[in-house]
Amino acid sequence: MSNKMYILLTGLMLISLASFSFAQGGGKGMMQELGLTEEQTKQVREIMQEQRTLAREWQKKHQEETESKLSEVLDDDQMEKLQSMQKRGRNKNQRSRNNKPPY
């Protein structure tokens, strides 16, 4: 992976995490610390939601492109194993998120 792609992916992940945290109530501290008005809070929430949506769309598009490219290199059995590994990773991440205390 090129440095530009790595930096772009890292940036998108950080934006996604920040907007997810904000949407889950993590933004309350930020809003208070910044002293945002109700109108500013509304606008910030809209911006974060938009960024989260864009990041998901970008991720889905590039995931599909990556899978397509990998399917040209890997045989059917290898692709099946890769997809199984990815699914296990997603399930593990989901379980980890569900078990975190809600601070």
Tell me the per-residue pLDDT of 20-43, one tens digit each, with 9 for 90 and over. 555 555 567 777 888 888 899 889
> What is the tally of structural domains in the chain?
1
Coil, strand, or helix at residue 1?
coil
Q: Is residue 79 part of a domain?
A: no
Q: Is residue 28 part of a domain?
A: yes
**Domain boundaries, position 20:** 3-74
Q: Is residue 48 part of a domain?
A: yes
pLDDT of 39-80, one tens digit each? 998 898 899 889 889 988 888 888 888 888 999 999 999 999
Spell out the alpha helix ranges (H) of the chain: 3-21, 27-34, 38-73, 76-98
Q: Is residue 66 part of a domain?
A: yes
